[in-house]
Amino acid sequence: MSEVKDNPIILRAEGISKSFGPTKALVNVSFEIRRGEVVGLIGENGSGKSTFSTIAAGIQKQDAGQLFLDGQPYAPVDITDAIAHGVSMVVQEQGTLNGISVAANIFAGREQQFTKAGLLDLRAMNAAAAEALDAIGVTGVDPAQLVNGMSFEERKLLEVARAECSNPQLLIIDETTTALGKEGRDVMYRLIEKMRKGNRSVLFISHDIEELMSVCDSIIVLRDGQYIGALNRGEMNVSTLRRMMVGREIAENFYRGDYDGRLTDEVALRARHICYGPMKDVSLELHRGEILGVGGLTDCGMHDLGKVLFGALKPDYGEVTVADGSRITTTGQAVKNRMAYISKNRDTEALMSAGSVKDNICLPNLSKLQKFGLVSPKKEMETAEKWGKTLSIKMQSPKQYCMYLSGGNKQKVSIAKWLASEAEIYIFDCPTRGIDIGVKTDIYRLLSDLKQQGKAIVMIAEELPELIGMSDRILTFKDGEISGEFLRSPDITEHTLIDYMI
């Protein structure tokens, strides 16, 4: 890694503050980023990381304070202006537009460079898009195809290509690696190293402490909107960073401490001979009181499995049934049979971002809240307040729109609505994607509580320590098939599972 302490400062923040109503997202935050430096930015959900990054990227403006770029005052009026100044950002959630092509997404807002005499040269734009994708190591993507059918990970890589092709001097990466599999992460890491070697800079936001320690030259910690401190490479260690993030000691092991993986005889859910997409003849049983972990590479079919089990996808062949033999072919039937599904894609599938916390929690439970065909506003508010308090959701009130919540609090809302429904079978798809260590601890405790209550849980996870630490039984996927089955044991290692996934 390059020595950067004497390099020129590319971005300096002085006293940046930002509030949303009574919520203080940033309070007098000041720090510097030097050229050739990869700076990690970490903190619990709601600490102000994304707020700061969106201010630097021109998405919103600060209330107070000032930014300086290469020593000059910097106040971008919008994203396009930020890009023109050499600052690009890859956002945490989906940042592509449906209904237009790959190339149109990569060059959104910059189409004029391919326009002559008022006409858009699609051939030239497609060729430039192919070059942009190739530059970050992505091949086999048709620049003319619509993005609608692309996976979340594929869309993320388009956003990476879009950011890089503008030749940014400062690239802001907000939680993007949480949406990527191994190949996608390798693409991102190669780009980060390219930026460093080119004397350009990266502000890398992640909840993964180990990832930041392996990639970054220094790490800045925010807590409750305030700058707590920064550690250089020689000072970094997991326990110190955790303590700085949450203001208290966090136990090294926040997974389950027991190794009792005994299964009950009562089967809550069965899948027989499921074929869909990459999945080939997948069969499984889920027992009451069990956490069944499912793991594999991103494109192995495990995420589709969760949707098939919940009736959100119709398999080409095979069936899903619950304990009494009822078939699950639609989400309506799943809900009727007290099933719950928490998607990995919060903003696009798990929540109504433009709806309030109250609306999101109450929507699946309207039948319980109504009397004589009318829904009681009082009961709605009581329900939202109850589950908001139970899950410690940080919000101004249950009337606050979900779009203004942090990622971890959005995740809590998506779980709360199903807890309120008193579901018996839960399908969690990457339950801790993109959330901080404090909220992770809360969710792991919740999973253990649901298990103790006799609930049946499928936990699809891309993080191997999570699979090993929480599951009673693990099914590994490879090329669309179940490649291995492991009962809970202290002898299972990440290498044990990887051998069955790759």
More confident of the two residues 148 and 5: 148
Q: How do residues 46-58 score in pLDDT, each as one tens digit?
A: 788 889 999 999 9
Residue 390 lies in a domain: yes
Length of the chain: 502
Annotate 44-59 with three-state secondary structure. Answer: CCCCCHHHHHHHHCCC
Residues 55 and 166 in one domain: yes
Residues 304 and 161 in one domain: no
> For residue 38, what is the domain's CATH number?
3.40.50.300
Measured distance CA(243)–CA(255) in Å, rounded? 18
Structural domains in the chain (count) = 2
| Beta-carbon count within 10 A of 59 CB | 16
Across 361-499, the runs of DSSP E, i.e. the strands, are 370-371, 374-375, 425-429, 456-460, 473-478, 481-487
Residue 84 is encoded by which pair of tokens? 């023109």
Residue 4 lies in a domain: no
Residue range of the domain that includes 490 = 267-501
Instruction: Say if residue 93's pLDDT is above 70.
Output: no
Instruction: Say if residue 87's pLDDT is above 90.
Output: yes
pLDDT of residue 273: 95
Residues 292 and 384 in one domain: yes
Q: How do residues 134-158 score in pLDDT, each as one tens digit?
A: 888 887 888 888 888 787 778 888 8
SS3 317: strand
Residue 109 lies in a domain: no
pLDDT of residue 179: 64
Please give the model's pTM, rounded to 2 decimal places.
Answer: 0.63
Residues 232 and 289 in one domain: no
pLDDT of residue 5: 67
Q: How do residues 321-359 score in pLDDT, each as one tens digit?
A: 999 999 999 999 999 999 999 998 877 788 888 889 999
Instruction: Say if residue 393's pLDDT is above 60.
Output: yes
More confident of the two residues 153 and 385: 385
Residue 481 lies in a domain: yes
Q: How do residues 191-221 score in pLDDT, each as one tens digit?
A: 899 899 999 999 999 878 888 999 999 999 9
Instruction: Say if residue 82's pLDDT is above 80.
Output: yes
The stretch 289-313 carries a mean pLDDT of 91
Residue 61 is encoded by which pair of tokens? 């403006």
Burial class from Cβ neighbours inside 10 Å (0-12, 13-18, 19+) for residue 96 reads buried
Residue 125 lies in a domain: no
Q: What Cα–Cα distance (Å) separates residue 422 from each residue in 172, 383, 425?
A: 41, 12, 9
pLDDT of residue 2: 46
Question: Chain-centre distance of CA 344, in angstroms?
Answer: 7
Residues 209 and 355 in one domain: no
pLDDT band at 4 (very low <50, low <70, confident <90, very high): low
Residue 120 lies in a domain: no
Residues 480 and 366 in one domain: yes
More confident of the two residues 179 and 382: 382
Residues 184 and 279 in one domain: no
Instruction: Write the CB contacts of 177 (distance below 8 Å, at least 6 apart in sequence).
Output: 184, 185, 188, 206, 208, 211
Instruction: Write the CB contacts of 372 (distance below 8 Å, at least 6 apart in sequence).
Output: none
Residues 234 and 293 in one domain: no
Residue 132 lies in a domain: no
Measured distance CA(219)–CA(41) in Å, rounded? 6
Q: How do residues 415-451 score in pLDDT, each as one tens digit?
A: 898 988 889 999 999 888 777 777 788 889 899 999 9
Across 70-143, the runs of DSSP E, i.e. the strands, are 72-74, 87-90, 115-116, 119-120
Closest CA to 210 of 401, 439, 7, 40: 40
Strand pairing category for 218-223 and 38-42:
parallel
Average pLDDT of the chain, as a whole number: 87
Instruction: Say if residue 224's pLDDT is above 90.
Output: no
Strand pairing category for 38-42 and 201-205:
parallel
Residues 314 and 281 in one domain: yes
Instruction: Write the CB contacts of 123 (distance below 8 Å, at least 6 apart in sequence).
Output: none
Residues 240 and 351 in one domain: no
Matching residue, tokens 């909107």: 225
Instruction: Write the CB contacts of 248 (distance below 8 Å, at least 6 apart in sequence).
Output: none
Residues 336 and 433 in one domain: yes
The stretch 34-39 carries a mean pLDDT of 94
In the chain, pLDDT over 70 holds for what percent of residues?
Answer: 96
